């Protein structure tokens, strides 16, 4: 595997994907669904990523632009809970297969099993640790 992969969106926009980023995406694929806070905590503790919270959220935003990550904002207006949860996107699956983090026979439609992104996390049987 190359040290970093450069993906171009246009003449001026590009994204550098490092080997550590692929490890994060492979972890996210394994977990299926995480809040941004959980994903940041896992990346800092499991992979020794020293990004601050704000920088990590910018990284997530860039990954969303390139369809590596899909996200949805959950808010319970009455109780004041708000958080964003993420899962892998189609481009990350292609990149993980290409770099042998996933098997070539991986069923890509598996990532779309969450039928309604509008459901609350309690309906998705999600445990949130705050």
Locate the domains of the chain by residue range.
Answer: 4-112
* Residue 124, SS3 per DSSP: coil
**Averaged pLDDT, 106-125:** 60
Residue 38: alpha-carbon gap to chain centroid: 11
The answer to whether residues 4 and 16 touch, using CB atoms and an 8 Å cutoff, is yes
pLDDT at 96: 92
User: 80: which 2 tokens?
Assistant: 């004041």
Q: What are the b/e assignments for 97-109, b being 16+ CB within 10 Å? A: eebebbeeeeeee
> pLDDT tens across 17-55, in order?
888 889 999 999 999 899 999 999 999 898 888 889 899
The CATH number of domain 4-112 is 1.10.10.10: yes
* 115 has pLDDT over 60: no
pLDDT at 125: 47
pLDDT at 1: 60
62 — phi, psi (to 5°)?
-65, -40
């Amino acid at each position: 595997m190359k040290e970093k992969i450069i993906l171009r969106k246009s003449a001026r926009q590009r994204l550098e994907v490092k080997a550590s980023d692929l490890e994060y995406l492979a972890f996210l694929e394994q977990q299926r669904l995480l809040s941004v806070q959980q994903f940041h905590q896992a990346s800092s503790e499991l992979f020794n990523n020293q990004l601050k919270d704000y920088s990590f959220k910018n990284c997530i935003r860039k990954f969303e632009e390139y369809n590596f990550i899909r996200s949805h904002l959950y808010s319970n207006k009455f109780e004041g809970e708000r958080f964003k949860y993420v899962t892998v996107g189609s481009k990350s699956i292609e990149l993980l297969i290409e770099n042998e983090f996933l098997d070539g026979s991986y069923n890509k439609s598996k990532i779309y099993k969450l039928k309604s992104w509008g459901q609350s996390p309690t309906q998705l049987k999600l445990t949130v640790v705050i």
